[in-house]
Amino acid sequence: GAVVSQHPSRVICKSGTSVKIECRSLDFQATTMFWYRQFPKKSLMLMATSNEGSKATYEQGVEKDKFLINHASLTLSTLTVTSAHPEDSSFYICSAETGTGGYEQYFGPGTRLTVT
Amino acid sequence: GDSVTQMEGPVTLSEEAFLTINCTYTATGYPSLFWYVQYPGEGLQLLLKATKADDKGSNKGFEATYRKETTSFHLEKGSVQVSDSAVYFCALSDLGMRFGAGTRLTVKP
């Protein structure tokens, strides 16, 4: 149980275009989902917290107009990278809390974004 | 805000050696503490966790004890295997996970 999927697993886009990444909790409902970014051989940095039905809360230094987050249902959150630039190339990972306590998060497999 | 400091490595050990990866935290309250593992080419997996002081998390031969007095959550394993080669992340929960820098472990036969 507690499986989180992400789609796509890899995406290449041209500079200036937008790309959407989906995060789904497959076998549980997640009122809270999180988006992280991982640079090569680096740790994960929390970008934003996404709550179903409300606006996302962004970490300091993360541009909310560039990284649009929508949490439309209890099983789906999306991250849209708008007007992508090569420096946005990274590994984006989502996670979801089961809400059963212990603050445990289940992580998706990640999406590799390359902006050319 | 809350944060985690982790021994960065890389760490290279021979099979059956003893492993310790140090992790200390800074927090205003009493967060839950976690160790996650990332195997090559795979996503993050929860290895173990502890939710309060003196709790010991354990899984697959790995252990870590939540020490409030030293604000630490060191990861240990008595005898590592080649299959333990991975990157290990210490983390705490603070409205989202705060991760340490990660420690790359390589175990040689």
DSSP line for A31-67: SEEEEEEE-TTS-EEEEEEEETTS--EEPTT--TTTE
Q: How many CB atoms lie within 10 A of CB A104?
A: 18
Q: Which amino acid is at B59?
A: N
Tokens 């809350």 locate to B2
Structure confidence at residue A17 (pLDDT): 97
Indicate the pLDDT class of residue A102, thresholds 50, 70 and 90: low
When pLDDT is averaged across residues A37-61 and rounded to a whole number, the result is: 88
Give me the pLDDT at residue A1, please: 64
User: Looking at residue B67, what DSSP letter applies?
Assistant: B
Tell me: pLDDT of A90 over 80.
Answer: yes
What pLDDT is stored for residue A9 in this prediction? 94
Using CA atoms, how far apart are residues B38 and A116, in angstroms rounded to an integer? 27
Asked whether residue A35 carries a pLDDT value surpassing 80, the answer given is yes
**How confident is the model over B39-64, as a mean pLDDT?**
92
Task: Please give the average per-residue pLDDT across A64-92, as a whole number.
Answer: 94
B50: nearest Cα among A105, A102, A98, A97: A102
β partners of residue A40: none
pLDDT at A103: 62
Calculate mean pLDDT across residues B59-85.
97
Of A43, A57, A104, the CB nearest to B99: A43
What's the confidence (pLDDT) of residue A101? 56
Size of interface A-B (CB pairs under 8 A): 49
Judge whether B99 is closer than 8 Å to chain A, CB to CB: yes
Q: Cβ(A91)–Cβ(A108) under 8 Å?
A: no
Q: What pLDDT does residue B8 have?
A: 82
One-letter amino acid identity for A93? I
- How far is residue B102's CA from residue B75's CA, in Å, rounded to a whole number? 12
Residue range B73-101, pLDDT digits in tens: 999 999 999 999 999 999 998 778 899 99
For testing contact with chain A, the best of B34, B45, B94, B95 (most A CBs within 10 A)? B95
Rounded mean pLDDT, B54-82: 97
Three-state secondary-structure class, residue B42: coil
- Unique residue bearing structure tokens 């173990």: B48
Residue A6 has pLDDT above 80, yes or no: yes
Q: In chain B, pLDDT over 70 holds for what percent of residues? A: 100
Mean model confidence pLDDT for chain A: 90
H/E element, B75: strand B75-77
Q: Which helix (H) or strand (E) holds A70?
A: strand A67-73
What integer pLDDT is reported at residue A104 of this predicted model?
73
Mean predicted lDDT score pLDDT of chain B: 93
Determine the pLDDT at residue B104. Answer: 94
| Cβ atoms of A24 and A8 closer than 8 Å | no
- Does any CB of chain A come closer than 8 Å to the CB of residue B51? yes
A65's tokens: 């107009």
Whether residue A44 has pLDDT greater than 70: yes
Q: Between chains, do A104 and B34 touch, taking CB under 8 Å as contact?
A: yes
Residue A23 pairs in a beta bridge with: A6, A77
The answer, for B59 touching chain A at a CB cutoff of 8 Å, is no
Number of residues that this document lists for chain B: 109
Task: Say yes or no to pLDDT of A100 above 70.
Answer: no
